[in-house]
Amino acid sequence: MTRAAVTQARSYAEDVEFSAEDATRSDIDYLCEVLDVAVDAGASVLNVPDTVGYTTPPEMARLVQQVRERVVRDRNVTISVHCHNDLGLAVANTLAALEAGARQVECTINGIGERAGNASLEEIIMALHVRADRLPFETNVVTTELYPASQLLSSIVGFDVQPNKAIVGRNAFAHEAGIHQHGVINNPLCYEIMTPESVGVRANSLVLGKHSGRHALSLRYMELGYDVSPSELDAAYRRFTDLADKKKRIYDQDLISLLSTAACAAA
């Protein structure tokens, strides 16, 4: 069946990807046999999916290595991986696969997908960017478009990512603990392994600081698309001045977080 399917696909297109459903729970000998037939029939990409998010990074690395050594060998074939996040390991498994020889990853913005989702594109990209010493791989993804893409997708699907979502969550660059705030004030690299600007979180168009008034804060919330009531603005402003005394740079995520906290306090 594999040979017939790939042969038919090749009659329509030169670049054919063969995906072995539930590969991480398959018998390795049988899996390699099937993948070998797919390559012989003309497949140029072999996808190794963790369909139910079951495997662990060491297991994924060994599996990709086995496919590379036993099936790909010296042939011009790309190994791809498609990881689900049922155990919260989709990104970790994807990075392990890259280290083991995979050169294509299937991922999604905000990690959306079946059940607990898929590997998160923005997390993979920034892991490659920040840890280029360990993961020396290049992509054509423009990192400054990650946050705008995340926001666009959130508006399309109708719900935001969780506040503590890596890279694009509203708390990703927010610092509450006093020792963290002190470190960030002295040197942002103490507690920020990337800058907000590097992922497209734009700096405030207004320079907001401890001397800013309610009008400036209200205007910034309007620019961010929030219709803030007078009571919400008062509560947010009190928290804003407290934060401005501790933190030199205040980002849009900080302001959104302050507004959410103020709303909860008012309720």
Q: d(Cα 267, Cα 263) in Å, to the nearest integer? A: 6
In the prediction, which pLDDT does 129 show?
96
Q: What percent of the chain has pLDDT over 90?
A: 59
**226 or 264: which carries more pLDDT confidence?**
226
Examine the fold and report which residue of 84, 106, 128 is the final residue of a domain before the chain moves on: 106
Q: d(Cα 181, Cα 246) in Å, to the nearest integer? A: 6
**196 or 248: which carries more pLDDT confidence?**
196
Cα distance between the two ends of the chain = 61
pTM value is 0.75
User: Taking CA 126 as the corner, what is the angle to CA 122 and CA 131, rounded to the nearest 5 degrees?
Assistant: 155
In the prediction, which pLDDT does 242 show?
85
Print burial letters for 104-121: b (CB count within 10 Å at least 16), e (below 16): ebbbbbbbebeeebbbbb
Encode pLDDT of 167-218 as tens digits.
998 777 765 444 444 454 555 666 568 888 899 886 544 456 666 777 878 8
Examine the fold and report which residue of 106, 133, 163 is the final residue of a domain before the chain moves on: 106
**134 or 170: which carries more pLDDT confidence?**
134
In the prediction, which pLDDT does 179 show?
46
Give yes or no for residue 158 having a pLDDT over 80.
yes
Residue 253 inside a domain? The answer is yes
Number of domains in the chain: 2
Token reading at 230:
């007078």
In the prediction, which pLDDT does 190 show?
61
Q: Which domain holds residue 218?
A: 202-266
